Amino acid sequence: MKQKLWWIVWGLALFIAGYSVVQYLLFDARQAGFVQLKLMLSATLHSFWYIMLYIHIVFGILALVIGPFTLSSKLREKNVKRHRLLGNIYMVSILFGGLAGLYLALNATGGWVAQLGFALLSIGWLFTMFQALVHIKKRNIQGHQKWMLRNYALTFAAVTLRIWLPLFMVVFGFENFESSYASIAWLCWVPNLIVMEWYIQQKLPKFAAYREMAKTNG
């Protein structure tokens, strides 16, 4: 990942992670805007739902913040052991965050369209991480890198969701929240994955060739 892009991604990830820590962990989750909206649209939220929410938030924050460091080739080359440690923490975060996310998806606001969108996001999150693990076990570094990029594109849905949400509220209003949220359940991750796949197919080979040339020359 190029340095400028890395800083942009990590900056956005850190901002959303900090926002989530303040909103969900420092204060009562029941006071969070998202939870308040859900309480307005449903009668009650039982304690198990809150447990799954906290698991999803905590491990999602870890994955969001750690992810860019696992994708940085410079950091990886400087300290392989640290890269492996961060990678292991990242994978565990995806496992717990993804399973909790799948449960939350099945209870998502916005009907079956939103539930399907978020469920596929969670399944894709777990699947791409599994593929990254399989490839690194086979010592297929390039394959591992590609699947990690796809995985972080899905992790970054935590950021893009919070970009789409206020935009939809401004354009369509709160009275259309459920239908807006059903759209956001797909918009928060499908475009991410499309853009990342374009990057993998078009830009990554050129970037890898450039790095190899730079190493050869000096």
What does pTM read for this prediction? 0.88
Residue 41 is predicted with a pLDDT of 58
pLDDT, average across residues 92-106: 96
Residue 40 is predicted with a pLDDT of 57
Residue 24 is predicted with a pLDDT of 77
Identity of residue 156: F
Q: Give me the CATH code for the 3-217 domain, please.
A: 1.20.120
Q: How far is CA 132 from CA 90, 140, 191, in A?
A: 12, 9, 21
Asked if 156 and 8 touch (Cβ cutoff 8 Å), the reply is no
Please give the mean pLDDT across all residues of the chain. 86
Pick the range with the lowest mean pLDDT from 3-17, 119-133, 162-176, 203-217. 203-217
Residue 216 is predicted with a pLDDT of 47
Of 190, 119, 182, give the one whose Cα is nearest residue 150. Answer: 190
Q: Angle, to 10 degrees, between the axis of helix 80-105 and the axis of helix 47-71?
A: 150
Query: What are the CB-based long-range contacts (under 8 Å, 24+) for 28-34?
Result: 29/53, 29/54, 29/57
Residue 15 is predicted with a pLDDT of 92
Residue 145 is predicted with a pLDDT of 92
With a pLDDT cut of 90, the percent of the chain lying above it is: 54
Asked if 161 and 114 touch (Cβ cutoff 8 Å), the reply is no
Give 51 or 117, the one with higher predicted confidence: 117
Residue 208 is predicted with a pLDDT of 54
Name the band, by pLDDT with cuts 50, 70 and 90, for residue 110: confident
Asked if 105 and 119 touch (Cβ cutoff 8 Å), the reply is yes
pLDDT, average across residues 53-75: 90
Whether the predicted pLDDT of 67 surpasses 80: yes
Pick the range with the lowest mean pLDDT from 17-26, 40-49, 76-85, 157-166. 40-49
Q: How far apart are CA 75 and CA 83, in angstroms?
A: 7
Q: What is the pLDDT of residues 193-216, one digit of tens each?
A: 999 999 998 877 765 544 544 454
Residue 46 is predicted with a pLDDT of 77
Residue 1 is predicted with a pLDDT of 58
Three-point CA angle 182, 190, 37, nearest 5°: 30
